[in-house]
Amino acid sequence: MKSVERYFLAGGAGTLPGIDNFAELLEEAGRPDTLTPVRENAPAVILYTSGSTAQPKGVVHTHFSLTHTIINQSTFQEINSREVSLVALSICHIAGLAGQLLPTAAVGGTVVLLPQFDPEKFLAAIASLRPTKIQLLPEQVLEILDHPRTPRTDFSSLECCLAGGDSVPLEAHRRFRELTGLEITETCGATESFSYAMNPPFGLKKPGSIGKPVHATTLRLVDDADREVAAGQAGEILVKSKANMLAYWQNPEETAKALKDGWLYTGDLARVDEDGYYWFVGRKKNIIIRGGSNISPREVEEVLFRHPAVKDACVVGKPDPAWGQTVKAYVSFKENLAPPTARDLQAFAAERLAAYKVPAEIVILPELPLNPIGKVDRRQLAAWAASGKK
């Protein structure tokens, strides 16, 4: 144990040689004379990206960017002291930490932390604890909707359900609305800038969109030459915000690529409509290019989700010597429904998509793989597609 620099006694009174009593330290921490002044631009926390398109990177946020986000989220979400926020997302990632825990605690609301997401325990907590707000990943929304306990659960205490981390299928929006009477509030963000766009929690929502920029945040959509794209066209989202990261931890090369002249280059593609609502298209790295034509995986996934038997779907590009890439889909099915064949699904998609967007291959799996934070592991599926193993 030579690497351990300090030991703490958790529980009990008194001290032991070389060991600090944690309870006594907590009492001392509340005294003004024990508070240590900090610089607002000093590093406060290192959060890691999910690794959905590359190896996870450490993201350094300052005391100011974290404090700005807490104030921003609490005001934009209209959080107050009567809020009861049920948190089942990891608090070492931005959604659970900066989307729920810190903004709610900062205004004196109640935060209920679950050890992990389990649909049965989550639904039981909604019934017994009567939360006013929940936040879910798209995969978790699907699990809730398909759980046998859901139709018997009273959701009447809920005032807001946030969802982010990836796109929520439109079919899931419809089913959640019919079940609870609430529209899902979709949001979009990045570890490097926290949440930068959100549908108004208590205003007009557009299902399928990621909403409008949050307070004190400016967004631009640009092409590969950094030129702003025309209205309605897809471009990379650039974010200017006081919530932007300081740097990637010990990675100056990636920092220089991501931060330019005060703008964060997110790698996310979106378009904006005439009302100023942004619509997520996908990650730049995930766009499929078949014979020179760009294909958004989300568009194909939305069609597959419309099939009544499909529980989950993920579309990736498969390397192809003739076309550059072809469309490959991975799907899982709901229980207690007659499963279609891959050919059936291709025919279903062909009725609703241009021919070049229809999956050339569809692989049926019992469950799609998830990454450590609970999102579909698109990177793993792309690797499988490239290797030809699955």
Task: Output the domain CATH number for residue 338.
Answer: 3.30.300.30
- Same domain, yes or no: 21 and 81: no
Residue 336 clears pLDDT 90, i.e. is over it: no
Whether 385 and 328 have beta carbons less than 8 Å apart is answered as yes
Neighbour-count burial of 260, counting CB atoms closer than 10 A to its CB (0-12 exposed, 13-18 middle, 19+ buried) = exposed
Q: How confident is the model at residue 53 (pLDDT cuts 50, 70, 90)?
A: low
- Span 217-237, mean pLDDT? 96
The domain in which residue 311 lies consists of: 287-387
* pLDDT value of residue 36: 77
Could you say which of 283, 305, 332 is where a domain stops?
Answer: 283
Question: Can you give the CATH number for the domain in which 196 is found?
Answer: 3.40.50.12780
> Are 249 and 299 members of one domain?
no
What Rg value do the Cα atoms of the chain yield, rounded?
A: 23
- Taking residues 327-348, what's their average pLDDT? 96
Domain termination site, one of 239, 256, 283 = 283
- Asked if residue 64 and residue 22 are part of one domain, the reply reads no
Regarding whether 291 and 262 lie in a shared domain, the answer is: no
Same domain, 258 and 160: yes
Q: Give the pLDDT score at 19.
A: 84
| pLDDT tier at 21, thresholds 50, 70, 90 | confident
299, pLDDT greater than 70: yes
Q: 105 by DSSP, 3-state: which?
A: helix
Average of per-residue pLDDT across 143-172:
96
What average pLDDT score do residues 224-241 get? 96
Q: What is the pLDDT of residues 55-91, one digit of tens each?
A: 889 999 999 999 999 999 999 999 999 999 999 999 9
102 and 123 belong to one structural domain:
yes
Buried-state track 354-365, b at ≥16 Cβ within 10 A, e below 16: eeebbbeebbee
Write down the pLDDT at residue 52.
65
Confidence band of 96 (pLDDT split at 50, 70, 90) = very high
**Does residue 166 sit in the same domain as residue 265?**
yes
Whole-angstrom distance, CA of residue 52 vs CA of residue 49? 8
According to DSSP H, which parts of the chain are helical?
22-29, 63-76, 94, 102-106, 119-129, 138-146, 170-180, 252-258, 297-305, 342-350, 378-387
Q: Sorting pLDDT into bands at 50, 70 and 90, what band is 390?
A: confident
List, for residues 176-188, the tens digit of each pLDDT value. Answer: 999 999 999 999 9
pLDDT range class, residue 12, cuts 50, 70, 90: low
State residue 10's pLDDT score.
76
- C-beta of residue 133 within 8 angstroms of C-beta of residue 160: yes
Clarify whether residues 272 and 298 are in a common domain: no
Query: How high is the pLDDT of residue 276?
Result: 96
The region that residue 126 occupies, defined by phi over 0 for left and psi between -120 and 50 for alpha, beta otherwise, is alpha
**Domain-ending residue, one of 234, 249, 283:** 283
Do residues 324 and 222 both lie within one domain? no
pLDDT higher than threshold 70 for residue 30: no
Question: How many folded domains does the chain comprise?
Answer: 3
Same domain, 25 and 57: no
* pLDDT above 80 for 29: no
Residues 59 and 140 in one domain: yes
Q: Kindly tell me if the per-residue pLDDT of 34 is higher than 80.
A: no
The 3-state secondary structure of 275-339 reads: CCCEEEEEEHHHCEEECCEEECHHHHHHHHHCCCCEEEEEEEEEEECCCEEEEEEEEEECCCCCC
Among the ranges given (48-62, 172-186, 201-215, 287-301), the one the predictor scored with the smallest mean pLDDT: 48-62
- The proportion of the chain whose per-residue pLDDT surpasses 70, expressed as a percent, equals 96
245 in the same domain as 157: yes
